[in-house]
Structure 1
Amino acid sequence: MINAGVSRVVVALADPDPKVAGQGIDRLRAAGIDVEVGCRADDVARQLAPYLHHRSTGRPFVVLKLASTLDGRTAGPDGTSQWITGDAARTDAHRLRADSDAILVGAGTVRADNPALTVRLPESERSTDDTEPLRVVLGAAPADAALQPCLEVSGDLGVILDDLGARGVLQLMVEGGATVAKAFHEAGLVDRYVLYMAPAIFGGDDALSLFSGKGAPTLGDLWRGRIVDVARVGDDLRLEIEA
């Protein structure tokens, strides 16, 4: 741009990567080019959230994917859960998988559902450059599990995120059950919640909930997030929530 004689450059965000540290902007300004920083910064920051988060923390951006009925249930009293949401919502969730570098589930989910955790998209959305996300199991996966080969991890979730970040994972999609969801939530490690909600109701107390264990004891102890996007996906709703 300097050699081309550009007089003005508009930049949404400065790259937080310490290897860069705004050097490009400084070079442009030193060459007498007018550089405006911050144009539509919020919009761009949302699009680049995984990259920005990884560069500033060294950890992947954690997306917790959830699916439930209107009354917050994920499975019936008998454990059946396939499928609460419709085809369009499930396809949309596969797009979320495709955007992620790794997918994490708990060993309990592997034993109960034996998921392959592959990306399955319509032919029109596939590319020859597509690669499958790294499959991560919190705990030990059976040797004959459909998601093999996979990376088995255990211990402190923060340490696990540090390791995944060092492996170059920018976005981690957590698809585990209620126990894994609660563990990441209570540790404050979820950066974005993506909830697919079906217009259906189990009713009663026996169906399984989004999060396991005891919840907040009083209204004042509720965790409250901020809805950043709402969309209709087929017959279901997709809510994106951040802290």
Structure 2
Amino acid sequence: MANEPDATANGQSAEDLRWMTEAIDLASLGRGQVEPNPPVGCVLVRDSVCIGKGYHQRFGGPHAEVEALSDCADATGATAYVSLEPCCHHGKTPPCADALIRAQVARVVVSVVDPFDQVDGGGIERLRSAGIEVTTGVAKEAGEDLLGAYLKRVRTGMPWVIAKWAMSLDGRIATKTGESKWITGPAARTAVHELRASVDAIAVGMGTVIADNPLLTVRLPQIADAKPPGGTNPKIASSTRQLVRLVYARSRLPDLQTQLVQTASETPTWVIAGPQIANADLAKLADHDVETWQCESSDPIEMIRQSLLWLGSNDNPRGLAMTHLMVEGGSQLLGSFAAARQLDEVHAFIAGKCIGGRDAPGPLGDPGVEALTDATSLRISRLDSFDNDVRLIYRR
């Protein structure tokens, strides 16, 4: 489809910006619940008064437009503000464009045109064919910011990569002896578990598995008590989806006695292995309910590219494309993701401590860059404070 004209070219009214901002804020409530679908919000307005609103709340559930129409007694003649173009195809739910047409809305305002090949302007075309006025591009930057992970997956087939690390004021993630627990305090560590609860998978390298023997689970009371809702995909454990634990193992595999392997029957554990690892060794992990997938290349950067395409497809063991991947370390794995140009978002937790030591590691290992012009450039998105720690969030 041809690109739709942005409302910015015609001037965005304060009224449109106000209600679209509310629709985008509503959409954000669905993040971590609806993937691989996009988080979407919808607000219905008549005579400058909100008469209904809703957002896509869970994967497989009603879309935002349907939720908003259900919240409204009569939408005839109303304006619908939708953060993403209404769908025009039958998926798990009927087309939302048709629902708006049946409701006889007079106008639809869209923030972001959906690049998904089964939509891609088709929803807008269907609305206009029904005589409904459509405006696109309102609060487009904010809408694309919220939809960054979805847009990346649709356009590239890869999930959005969130790098997380905790470091001292002088940029160390451990002492020169490798001690790293705990650089930050309890409040910051709770924020890490909240982040884990919102992503599809969390990844570490073999260095972290050997050094820390991590469990990599979400340890929050409200998550631990969550029960699977009826009728959801059996491969998804709860409304927040069950976190998948990933280990990048280029040349060596986790020991069978590690916590990750011992708990694989309870929490999905996948190993992304290099091509030189023997099938017999992979079979031993499979006997402990660990899923394994072997890359064709042993080059770290190529392994990351291949694995991201696999994770972003429906061919992975979960049967659903992943939208958010969180990489927790160690520094070598994070360095490889940086070298592969696959750091989309960084959560840097900084503690009020100074560690020092030439041999104390930083968050990103080899290969690094030789010139500053080659460095990954991100923009600051948010700053949070946790007692004596801070979190800086940077995004592409």
* Normalised TM-score (structure 1): 0.92
Tell whether 2:257 aligns with 1:144. yes
Matched position secondary structure for 1:147? helix
**Residue type of the alignment partner of 1:108:** G
Distance in 1 of aligned mates of 2:322 and 2:193: 18
One-letter amino acid of the structure 2 residue matched with residue 151 of structure 1 = W
Per-residue CA deviation, residues 143-189 of structure 1 (Å, 9 max, x unaligned), is 22212322111342100111111131111111121100101001111
**Which of 168, 178, 183 does residue 69 from structure 1 map onto?**
168
In the alignment, what sits opposite 1:205?
358
The equivalent residue for 1:2 is 101
Letter in 2 for 1:34: E
Matches within 5 A, 1:16-27: 16-27=115-126
Distance in 2 of aligned mates of 1:94 and 1:7: 44
Aligned residues: 243
Is 1:177 aligned with 2:177? no
Distance 1:216 1:95, change over 3 A: same
Counterparts of 1:137 and 1:214, CA distance in 2? 20
- Secondary structure at the counterpart of residue 65 of structure 1: strand
**1:231 corresponds to:** 384
Distance 2:240 2:370 in 1: 45
Q: Does 1:153 align with 2:252?
A: no
User: Could you tell me how far 1:125 is from its partner in structure 2?
Assistant: 9.1
TM superposition score normalised by structure 2 = 0.58
Q: Does 1:127 align with 2:226?
A: yes
Secondary structure of the residue that 1:175 maps to in structure 2?
strand
1:195 aligned partner? 348
- 2:219 and 2:157 map into 1 onto residues whose CA distance is 29
Q: Is the 8 A contact 1:64 1:190 kept in 2?
A: yes
Mapped to 1, the partners of 2:125 and 2:376 lie a distance apart of: 42
Measure how far apart 1:98 and its partner are: 1.0
AA aligned opposite 1:37 = T
Per the TM alignment, residue 114 of structure 1 is displaced from its structure 2 partner at its CA by 1.0
1:60 to 153, 159, 174: 159
Distance 1:183 1:119, change over 3 A: same
User: Is there any run of 5+ residues in structure 1 with no aligned partner, and where?
Assistant: none
In 2, are the aligned partners of 1:118 and 1:132 still within 8 Å (CA)?
no
Matches within 5 A, 1:108-123: 108-123=207-222
**SS across alignment from 2:102:** coil
Q: Deviations over 1:76-104 (max 9, x none)?
A: 12211111011111111111111111111
SS at match of 1:136: strand
Q: Which stretch shifts more, 52-61 or 123-132? A: 123-132
- Matched with 1:241 is 394
Give the direction of change, closer, same or farther, for the CA distance of 1:41–1:233 in structure 2 (3 Å limit).
farther
Deviates more, 1:91-100 or 1:143-152: 143-152
- Aligned alpha-carbon RMSD (Å): 2.0
Which 5+ residue runs of structure 2 have no aligned equivalent?
Answer: 1-99, 228-238, 274-297
Which is higher, the Rg of structure 1 or of structure 2? 2
